[in-house]
Amino acid sequence: MNFTIGKNGDGDDDLVHKLLNKDIKKKLCNSLVKSCERILKEVPTEDHNYEHWDVYVAGLSLLFMRIHERDPGFMIGTRSALVIADEFINSALSTYRAKHKMTSAKKQNECGFICSAVGLYAVAAEVKNHMGDKESSHNYLELIQSQFSHSCFSPNTPSELFYGRAGFLYTQKFISSLIDPSKEIPTSSLIKSVFDAIIEDGILNAAITSSNFTSNYYNTEKEQQIPLFWSFFDKPYVGAAHGFAGILTTLLQFPENCREYYKRVKETVDFILFNCRSPNGNWPSNLNKGENDLIQFCHGAPGICLLACKAYEYYKEEKYLKLAMETANYVYSQGYGHKGTGLCHGISGNAYVFLSVYLLTKDLQYFQWALEYAEVCTQWEERTLNKEFRLPDRPWSLWEGLGGAVW
């Protein structure tokens, strides 16, 4: 691991080494290896019968791909992490092709990164590129752009991250380093078109929405019309998975495109961050609800904190950093959770809040909190047996299960 350390950015590596000492490193590394072995035992790479090829098998391919990037020499038995990633993605592709025959109706509204074939093919393109199979990698990239981009412009497609346009926009960033400039694969023009479609969807919904969303749990005494408005299955979700936080965080990763809609995007960011906080310190799961007790990436304060971090990086205003720090403090005090170790609604997803704020502030307190959460992840089995953690629906996956702890 390589970190830039020091509370005020002074680069004092000794401080983090005192926190991440040899004993802790050994414990975390041993736990990582054991967790990988357990995942491979429970989810054999050669099994093509998994229903959830997207969030499950393709996610595990991405996990082992990242392990390979961090440590190319990492081995489980006789197999490298890269080989395991390739086996998982081959299994996911075979399962998808067999069980999900692509029809025009199927592809019409399918374009998200997490819960559609777009993410599957994006991971496949990256894995095949690392395997040296440039032709297959290119074919998967071309498939994403040619077969799924039209879904972004269907009126029935949502703008959220998991299933919708924001997920497709994120995919463009994910695959950007893989695209050969000499190949005729559209990128910048497609990014602009999808970005514009998300904004237009937000403007249209804001115009037809009658409610101004003023209630006693919002931090405002005046009615305020939100400039951009999105919903998923008719619910105006706030969090990172299906709501404003995920969409806005994605938009802010494309600064050139944001400039054209600077005022609308910024006012919407500010509305969500500063006008929608509940008295209990959390954010509602959707704008039609009151207080929310969910404190996880998908719903609640963790996803909001990540938006505040990205807003600070883009707008350079201290109010965003201050809110990010406040929210991280809240997550630490309240966000321990009981839903296991997954990234989406488990403790490892919440730990990313601390790492994100640490990278902006270099305040070692946040790094310490991330280590504490990581140590809890090493105790997942005991805590599950004691019913302190619930058993997730997909207990070995990246988004819901043990894979999240490894990530």
Per residue in 128-185, pLDDT tens? 999 999 999 999 999 999 989 999 999 999 999 999 999 999 999 999 989 877 666 6
d(CA 41, CA 234): 40
Residues in binding site: 298, 344-345
- 184-193: per-residue pLDDT in tens? 666 889 999 9
Q: Tens of pLDDT along 326-347?
A: 999 999 998 777 888 889 988 9
The band of 108, judged by pLDDT with boundaries at 50, 70 and 90, is: low
Check: CB of residue 405 under 8 Å from CB of residue 341. yes
pLDDT band at 309 (very low <50, low <70, confident <90, very high): very high
CA distances from 153 to 142, 251, 253 (A): 18, 17, 21
To the nearest whole number, what is the mean pLDDT of the chain?
87
pLDDT value, residue 330: 96
Phi, psi dihedrals of residue 235, rounded to the nearest 5°: -115, 125
Predicted pLDDT of residue 107:
56
To 5 degrees, how large is the angle CA 124–CA 59–CA 143? 30
Task: Give the confidence band of 3 by pLDDT, cuts at 50, 70, 90.
Answer: very low
What are the domain boundaries of the chain? 102-189
Answer whether 165's CB lies under 8 Å from 122's CB.
Answer: no
Q: What is the spatial distance between Cα 286 and Cα 274, in angstroms, rounded to a whole number? A: 15
CA distance readout (Å), 293 to 11, 241, 360, 393, 403: 38, 16, 27, 20, 25
Q: Which two tokens stand for residue 281?
A: 């310190």
Regarding pTM above 0.75, the answer is yes
DSSP code for 395 = T
Looking at residue 110, its pLDDT comes to 78
Q: What mean pLDDT is predicted for residues 313-324?
A: 98
Please tell me which residue, 380 or 198, carries the higher pLDDT value. 198
127 and 86 Cβ atoms separated by less than 8 Å: yes
In one-letter notation, the amino acid at residue 64 is F
CA–CA separation, 260 vs 257, rounded Å? 6
Backbone phi, psi, residue 242, to 5°: -120, 5
Specify whether the CB–CB gap between 400 and 115 falls below 8 A.
Answer: no
For the stretch 354-363, pLDDT in tens is 999 999 999 9
Within 8 A by CB and 6+ apart from 203, the residues are 227, 228, 264
The DSSP-derived string for 348-385 is HHHHHHHHHHHHHH--HHHHHHHHHHHHHHTTHHHHHH
Residue owning tokens 């950015």: 9
Say which residue the tokens 């695959």 belong to.
175
d(CA 45, CA 42): 10
Annotated binding site for Zn(2+): 298, 344-345
- Is 26 a residue whose pLDDT tops 50? yes
Is the pLDDT higher at 211 or at 403? 403
Which distant-in-sequence residues (6+ apart) come within 8 Å of 23 by Cβ? none
Closest CA to 345 of 296, 384, 389, 390: 296
